[in-house]
Chains A and B, each alone.
Chain A
Amino acid sequence: MAATASPKKPFRWHILVFLAPAVLVYTAIMILPLAGTLQLSLFRNIERSQTFVGLQNFRTLFGDPNWSAGFWNALRNNVWFFIVHMLVQNPIGILLAALLSSPRLRFSTFYRTAIFVPTVLSFVVVGFAWKLILSPLWGVAPNLLDLIGLKSLFTPWLGKEAYALTTLALISVWQFVGIPMMLIYAALLSIPDEVIEAAECDGVTGWSQFWKIKLPLILPAIGIISVLTFVGNFNAFDLIYSAQGALAGPNYSTDILGTFLYRAFFGFQLQVGNPNMGAAIATMMFLIILAGVCIYLFLIQTRLRRYQF
């Protein structure tokens, strides 16, 4: 087509050449495994050979109460995990960014680094460290509470069905609060001084300046953070696994999609792994994340107003 429309122009090979590395790498490490997973979820091991069974695995996943109860439980827990992040991590991140960008704050670089450091720590370190901090036997949490006379408030949080998941979500918030803080901090810094000065001329200062001028300008950044949090939370696995083990106790109360997938795919102790059911769960996770991201892209992002300076 291009050749006939403008016969003099040679085929633009450089476009292909420059795109090729990224396309090849992305295909090899992302698209092929994804397609492989989708394919695996349509097969089943019958008489020691992989047989195509259509959507049977999904029918088992949703129709067999032994599987579906586990799946809905994991999904419910995952949604709660996400809600805690949205309600705690993002407001704290915005607050910290607002404080950091205040010109009167001293040592702001130190605070910024200190708050961001946990983000680069390994999950295993974070899980293990918090398990120790909260340990009823050797942890610092019971002792510290005792010092201020609040020992009665301490319970074995990671061992109680009612608290374990929320505790883990808050640990994860502690670890990752640096990311929304940094992104929003950058967005706040990019607001031109002229806008702020104009607001001050109109008598909009302090918190009302934050709510009326700055917040609308950083909304796109908050949107991006929400999507990142959503994807991160629905792919989460490491923290639960390192703190609670693959059975996500007590009584599956901290089981999220990642740990549910792990047990199904690889098996656990006497349970033999079932890669096909595992792939079916992975496919569901992919669809859930895809749906979430699409909702954001098509319903929310298109309505966000952008300002050009």
Chain B
Amino acid sequence: MKTKLFTALLLGSSVLGAAGTAHAQDVTLNIESWRNDDLAIWQEKLIPAFEAKNPGIKVVFSPSAPTEYDAALGAKLQAGSAGDLITCRPFDKSLDLYNKKNLADLTTLPGMENFSDVAKAAWTTDDGKANFCVPMASVIHGFIYNKDAFDKLGIKVPQTRDEFFAALDKIKADGTYVPMAMGTKDLWEAATMGYQNIGPNYWKGEEGRLALIKGEQKLTDADWVAPYAELAKWKPYLGDGFEAQTYPDSQNLFTLGRAAIYPSGSWEISVFNTQAQFKMGAFPPPVEKAGDTCYISDHNDIGMGLNAASKNADAAKKFLTWVASPEFATIYANALPGFFSLNSSPVKMEDPLAQEFVSWREKCKPTIRSTYQILSRGTPNLENETWVESANVINGTDTPEAAAKKLQDGLDAWYKPAK
């Protein structure tokens, strides 16, 4: 018995050993990413689809925590231990990596012609000559709501700000639901789902954003302070102890059906679809008067680039060309509803909530987050300060005017707009 087992073990190990040598000739590509929520989608859908067509190339998706990604990636790149493929943050983070020669030039990569200049804008040098990441997806900001709760309370989807606050009042008076699921502990919710979500309607999207970069507008102008004034009005509608409520707390509060409205973005859709037991809908940030032009934040969020130090550059380029293909766009957009493809060829999406979000592209003017391009290059960092001040405004520890002044002072300290 014992000898048999031993022989079996020996046989087994020799087979495994042989298998190991057979695979040793394969090229293995490692993907660095902050999207640890997407691990299953990469492992089960995207990577098998690529590997089936490209025998000999193995792909490993190895994400790290979103808040640690940039620091970890920077350290790994410096140490030379970073993966072959690098998931690109939009704008300066990636531009900086390109300038440091950590990211390879992808301007001539086959497949790049599938993207418009706007789609590539987030990963283009300031002079527009070189592209260094393949655009993967953008996210759209807005409000997700609990349809069952709205039906029960007889609330119509709000179009204007007055309707929005009337709806919140009604939910609060009823008392069954927390009107709005948001906390200020993690700070970024206040800035990203608050300020950057409702702001574009005030500063008129790209018009205001570009004027801010040119120095023609200031953060202390009425159009930039007004969103803070609206945020300050949110406080009474947030849950008990929202000051210590974290981002996952807010997500759970909403998906457990305890909150009615969740200020958010399309990136939540895939997580919410699996967790929420009720029907969900979405509406864009309400405008002042019915019929006003609406502006939405349609933010280039994810791209993928090539580690310039990669030893498997050819295989990695093959993979990137596939990432630029309509096939990838279709799998990705459907596996991850809420991450909208930037590919020029239209992608058919099944998810109704994702369709709702993407339909705003037709009636509203898109912009990107105001702090991302150029304005967060110095110290103090405008994006980080926006997080802190947005939370302060909602907590009531800073007035909208004081917050705006602090941000503008910080920006003035280092930013000199080109004349």
Residue positions of A touching B, CB distance < 8 A: 48, 65-67, 131, 134-138, 142, 154-161, 244-247, 249-252, 262-263, 266-274
Does A270 lie within 8 Å of B397, measured CB to CB?
no
Partner of B241, one of A67, A156, A262, A266: A156
* Residues of chain A with a CB closer than 8 A to B377's CB: 272
Does A159 lie within 8 Å of B244, measured CB to CB?
yes
* Residues of chain B with a CB closer than 8 A to A136's CB: 239-242, 244-245
CA A241 to CA B240, docked complex, whole Å: 24
Partner of B384, one of A135, A156, A244, A268: A268
CA A43 to CA B383, docked complex, whole Å: 27
Does B242 lie within 8 Å of A270, measured CB to CB?
no
Does B239 lie within 8 Å of A251, measured CB to CB?
no
Q: Which of B369-419 contact A (CB under 8 A)?
A: 371-372, 376-377, 379-384, 387-388, 391-392, 395, 397-398, 410, 413-414
Q: Is B105 an interface residue (CB 8 A)?
A: no
- 0/1 per residue, B241-258, Cβ < 8 Å to A? 111111001001100000
Does A270 lie within 8 Å of B93, measured CB to CB?
yes
Q: How far is the CB of A99 from chain B (nearest CB, A)?
A: 34
Does B249 lie within 8 Å of A137, measured CB to CB?
yes
Q: How far is the CB of B64 from chain A (nearest CB, A)?
A: 13
For B258, the closest partner residue in chain A by CB is: A137
Does A270 lie within 8 Å of B185, measured CB to CB?
no
- 0/1 per residue, B80-124, Cβ < 8 Å to A? 000000000101110010001000000000000000000000000
Partner of B245, one of A156, A161, A262: A156
Interface pick from B49-57, B67-75, B228-236 = B67-75
A249 and B391 in contact, given A67-B379, A267-B74, A270-B372 (Cβ under 8 angstroms):
yes
* Residues of chain A with a CB closer than 8 A to B343's CB: none
A158 and B388 in contact, given A271-B376, A272-B92 (Cβ under 8 angstroms):
no
* Residues of chain A with a CB closer than 8 A to B67's CB: 245-246, 268-269
Does B74 lie within 8 Å of A252, measured CB to CB?
no
Q: How far is the CB of B387 from chain A (nearest CB, A)?
A: 6
Q: Which of B89, B91, B93, B252 has the most CB of A within 10 A?
A: B93
How many chain B residues sit at the interface, stated as a range, is 35 or more
Does B184 lie within 8 Å of A247, measured CB to CB?
no
For B384, the closest partner residue in chain A by CB is: A271
Does A155 lie within 8 Å of B371, measured CB to CB?
no
Q: Is B356 an interface residue (CB 8 A)?
A: no
CA A102 to CA B241, docked complex, whole Å: 43
What are 24 residue pairs bridging A and B, where the CB atoms are less than 8 Å apart in the complex? A65-B413, A131-B246, A135-B245, A136-B240, A136-B244, A137-B241, A156-B245, A159-B241, A160-B243, A246-B67, A247-B187, A249-B185, A250-B243, A251-B398, A263-B384, A266-B71, A267-B70, A269-B188, A270-B93, A270-B372, A270-B382, A270-B383, A272-B93, A273-B71
Q: Is B186 an interface residue (CB 8 A)?
A: yes
Does B239 lie within 8 Å of A137, measured CB to CB?
yes
Residue positions of B touching A, CB distance < 8 A: 67, 70-71, 74-75, 89, 91-93, 96, 100, 183-188, 239-246, 249, 252-253, 371-372, 376-377, 379-384, 387-388, 391-392, 395, 397-398, 410, 413-414
CA A112 to CA B284, docked complex, whole Å: 58
* Residues of chain A with a CB closer than 8 A to B392's CB: 250-251
Does A266 lie within 8 Å of B74, measured CB to CB?
yes
* Residues of chain B with a CB closer than 8 A to A156's CB: 185, 241-245
Q: How far is the CB of B368 from chain A (nearest CB, A)?
A: 13
Does B187 lie within 8 Å of A268, measured CB to CB?
no
* Residues of chain A with a CB closer than 8 A to B414's CB: 66
CA A262 to CA B74, docked complex, whole Å: 13
CA A156 to CA B371, docked complex, whole Å: 30
* Residues of chain A with a CB closer than 8 A to B241's CB: 135-137, 142, 154-156, 159
A245 and B186 in contact, given A156-B244, A270-B376 (Cβ under 8 angstroms):
yes
Does B239 lie within 8 Å of A158, measured CB to CB?
no
Contacts A250-B395, A270-B93 given; 16 further ones with Cβ under 8 A?
A66-B379, A66-B410, A136-B239, A136-B245, A137-B252, A161-B395, A249-B185, A250-B392, A250-B397, A266-B75, A267-B71, A270-B376, A271-B383, A271-B384, A272-B96, A273-B74
* Residues of chain B with a CB closer than 8 A to A262's CB: 71
Q: How far is the CB of A46 from chain B (nearest CB, A)?
A: 14
CA A135 to CA B240, docked complex, whole Å: 10
**3 nearest interchain CB pairs?**
A136-B241, A159-B243, A156-B244
Partner of B71, one of A154, A155, A268: A268
CA A251 to CA B187, docked complex, whole Å: 9
* Residues of chain B with a CB closer than 8 A to A252's CB: 388
Does A161 lie within 8 Å of B74, measured CB to CB?
no
* Residues of chain A with a CB closer than 8 A to B413's CB: 65-66
Partner of A270, one of B74, B92, B244, B245: B92
CA A269 to CA B68, docked complex, whole Å: 8
Does A247 lie within 8 Å of B384, measured CB to CB?
yes
* Residues of chain A with a CB closer than 8 A to B380's CB: 66
For A70, the closest partner residue in chain B by CB is: B380
Does B244 lie within 8 Å of A161, measured CB to CB?
no
Q: How far is the CB of B385 from chain A (nearest CB, A)?
A: 10
Q: How far is the CB of B211 from chain A (nearest CB, A)?
A: 20
* Residues of chain A with a CB closer than 8 A to B372's CB: 270
Q: How far is the CB of B231 from chain A (nearest CB, A)?
A: 15
CA A104 to CA B27, docked complex, whole Å: 69
CA A244 to CA B387, docked complex, whole Å: 13
Partner of A158, one of B70, B244, B398: B244
* Residues of chain A with a CB closer than 8 A to B410's CB: 66
Q: How far is the CB of B126 from chain A (nearest CB, A)?
A: 16
Partner of B70, one of A137, A245, A268: A268
CA A245 to CA B244, docked complex, whole Å: 12
Does B388 lie within 8 Å of A249, measured CB to CB?
yes
Q: How far is the CB of A195 from chain B (nearest CB, A)?
A: 51
* Residues of chain A with a CB closer than 8 A to B100's CB: 48
A271 and B391 in contact, given A131-B246, A136-B241, A159-B185 (Cβ under 8 angstroms):
no
CA A160 to CA B379, docked complex, whole Å: 26
* Residues of chain A with a CB closer than 8 A to B384's CB: 247, 263, 268-271
CA A268 to CA B376, docked complex, whole Å: 11
CA A42 to CA B188, docked complex, whole Å: 34
